Amino acid sequence: MKKPNDKRNKGKQNPEKPIEQLQDNLFELSLDPDIQAEESHTNGEEKMLSEMKKLEEERKALLEEKRQLENTENTLRQTVKEEIKVRKQQIEKLKNEISNLKQRCEALAKLLDIPIQK
């Protein structure tokens, strides 16, 4: 790779015009095909890194959404299980109450000598 300022001033800087010297050097660098290829390669790498970062962020967001949905599903399943348990207990309680009511009705009907329908 050639040095950018070899042609113009044989590597010596002009102390009277440092900004112009830097601008000239940058311009020469921008025309150098090796530098252009390197910049193109660097831009390609930056695009790939940017794409990788974007994909990783999306992956993390999706994983978080999945985790939240799994938590919600587990909470709902637990709520359903608890509701099933409560309803079974309510049914059992009602069956017991009905059984007790039938016994009391039978006892009262027997006292009154009334036939009982079962």
pLDDT higher at 27 or 110: 110
- Residue 105: the pLDDT is 93
pLDDT of residue 75: 98
H or E segment to which residue 14 belongs: none
Rounded Cα gap, residues 47 and 33, in angstroms: 21
Specify the pLDDT at position 1.
47
Half-sphere exposure of 111 (CA within 13 A, CB side): 6
| 100-111 confidence digits (pLDDT tens) | 999 999 999 999
Q: How far apart are the first and last CA of the chain?
A: 108
What tokens does 29 get?
A: 């660098």
Look at residue 68 in the predicted model and tell me its pLDDT.
98
pLDDT tens, position by position, 30-84: 666 665 666 667 788 899 999 999 999 999 999 999 999 999 999 999 999 999 9
Domain ranges of the chain: 16-111
Q: What is the mean pLDDT of residues 76-98?
A: 98
Residue 23: is its pLDDT beyond 70?
no
**113 phi and psi, to 5 degrees?**
60, 45
Question: In degrees rounded to 5, what are phi and psi of residue 112?
Answer: -90, 0
pLDDT score, position 79: 98
Report the run of H or E that residue 117 belongs to, with start and end: none
Band of pLDDT at residue 11, cut at 50, 70 and 90: low
